[in-house]
Structure formats: C-alpha cells, structure tokens
Copies of this chain bind each other. A is one copy, B any other.
Amino acid sequence: MKIASIYEPIEQDLTVVEENLKKFTTANLPWMEEPLEHVLDSGGKRIRPALTLLAGKFHNYNLEQLIPIATAIELFHTATLIHDDAVDGSSMRRGKPTVNSRWGDGIAVLLGDYLFSNSAYIFYVVGNLRVMKLFSQTLITISGGQLRQLFSAYDWRQSRQEYYEQIGSKTASLFSASTETGAVLSEAPEEAVEALQTYGHDLGMAFQIVDDILDFIGDEVEMGKPVGSDLLEGTLTLPAILLMENYPQDNPVRELFQKRGDREQVQRIIDMVRNSPIVDECYRIAADFSSQACRAMEGLPDNACRRSLIDLAHYLIERRK
C-alpha cells in the first residue's frame, strides 16, 4: 500500500498544507530561504498534518482552521527535528545533511526557535485556546522527555516501562496532539476526541518502536542515515532492552555503555539482535500498539477517514524507512 492512497480522503487539503509550507519558505527574508527550503522541502511523509486533517474530517471539517493548524504542526515538528539533530550531533536525515552539519549548531538552534515561534503565531491566529494549551504542553513534554534521555545517556539500567515513557513523551505526545487537535477543531463530541487522541498516542508508540527497530536492521541507503546511532549516543531502545533481558549477566550493551565503546562494538550488538528473535518480538509489540490504536476508534463511524487511519497504522509498522 502506498501512502498516497492512504491520504486519498484529504489529498487536496494536504496539498494546500504543502503549498503553505512552500509559501512560508519564500515569505521570509531572502537569506533564510535556503535553510528553510532545506528543512521544509524534505520529502517527509507529513504524517502529523495528515493525522490532523483525517481526525478533523469525522465531524465538522473546518478547513479554515484545520489547514493553518496542520501547517503549524509540521513547522513545530520540523523545529523539534532540527533541535534533536543538533542535540544528537546527527549528520544525516532522510539522505540529506542535517541543518547542524551543513550550517552549524548555532543556525540549528535559532532556526528551530524561529519555526517554534512561527507555529505559535499560527496557533494564536487560529485562536483556539485548547489547541494552544495542548501545544505548549506538548513541547514541555517533548523537551522534558528529551532532557531526561540526555541526562540518562549511557545508563544501561533502564526498564521497558521507562522506555515506553520515553517514547511516549518524545513521539507519541505529538501524534496524539495532532489527532486531538483535528478532533477538537471539528467540534467532535468528547468521546470522539478521546478516541482519536488515544489512536494518535498508540500510533506514535508503534511508529517510534519501528523507528528504533530500523536503527538496528534498516537499510542505510533507504533510510538516509546510519544505523546504530542510538547505541552510539548511549540511548537505550527496545531491541537493546530485550537483548539485556535475554542476557542479564553478561550483556554487551552494558559493556558498550560503561566503556563508551566504538562502532565495531555497536556492530557486534546489531548482529546479535539481527540473529535473534528480538526483532520479531519488537515488531510484535509495535503491532500490538498499532492494533490498540485501531481499536480505540471502534466507536467512530466506519468511513473513508477511519479506513485511512487504520491503513496508516498498518503502513507505519511495515515501512522500511
């Protein structure tokens, strides 16, 4: 299944969001155009704005508010990516150099701030207080979670539960804010808002687990970034946690983190994971979150948007990049 056919019910409207992002690129000062184009014309899947539009189409499909907000959400998401890459010192994303590697950390920090504030301005213009609250809270959650991850880097004593909390704050929070916002702006009844918010959250969990699996088994060319980055940065993800659960006494991740090992050691851990049932187990967990996401929508009308959201849940756990 292709993402384009999943997005079919909102295809035209997502195109308008895309055009808005292009307009934003050129509406700013000329010297900012190149870095803005670099980050906004990135070939990303635009999952979050698509979630907002799809979630917004169950009730009063209020495009006047949904389109600017979906645009703001993509600006917001892009800002978090730029800051993340600077924090992690990542050099590649989606096959292109990151802002920090191309223009330096300083530009990355400020460009992220610039995008955050522009998204905040759009939230203000739309003027829905609940949405404003949601996004200030979401950034508190994301940056707080990332801070915690950074403070606990190279700590090998992290449980599955802590991992779920971590990806809940770093990824699922923005997925759920995206669907919740769509529902709120379409004046959905509170049960529907909750259902779509839960769907978004669980989808985000599944999405991040697959992301973390791909950091072990993905194809570097297809992903456009090196594998093993999480381990190298001292970040414990689900495959590594399951590996440690399987080798409680003598586990290679502990050694890697304690001795700040090198790429060779990372490769050995990757090979161990690849040659074990851990990958399947992680996919099973991701699939559980994905099914849970779909089940949350059981009370919603069985329309094209619900089918798209269900297809998206399947697509995201089958993706290879």
Contacts and interface: CB of A to CB of B under 8 A. Distances in A.
Contact of A110 (B107, B132, B133, B147): B147
A211 interface: no
A143 B113 contact: yes
Contacts of A32: 144, 147, 151
A132 B143 contact: no
Given A114-B140, A114-B144, A120-B120, A105 B129 contact: no
Interface residues on A, range: 35 or more
B124 A139 contact: no
Nearest to A108: B109
B87 A110 contact: yes
Contacts of A31: 148, 151
Nearest to A139: B117
Nearest to A140: B117
B129 A124 contact: yes
Nearest to A138: B117
Q: How many chain copies? A: 2
A121 interface: yes
Given A117-B139, A117-B143, A136-B117, A110 B124 contact: no
A137 B110 contact: no
Chain A interface mostly: helix
A114 B113 CA distance: 12
A196 interface: no
Nearest to A131: B124
B121 A140 contact: yes
A31 B152 CA distance: 10
A37 interface: no
Given A113-B116, A140-B121, A147-B111, A106 B133 contact: no
22 contacts: A28-B144, A29-B148, A32-B144, A86-B106, A87-B105, A87-B106, A87-B109, A106-B150, A107-B147, A109-B109, A110-B147, A111-B147, A113-B142, A114-B140, A116-B139, A117-B140, A117-B143, A118-B136, A118-B140, A120-B120, A121-B136, A123-B136
Interface of A: 28-29, 31-32, 83, 86-88, 105-107, 109-114, 116-118, 120-121, 123-125, 127, 129, 132-133, 135-137, 139-140, 142-144, 146-148, 150-151
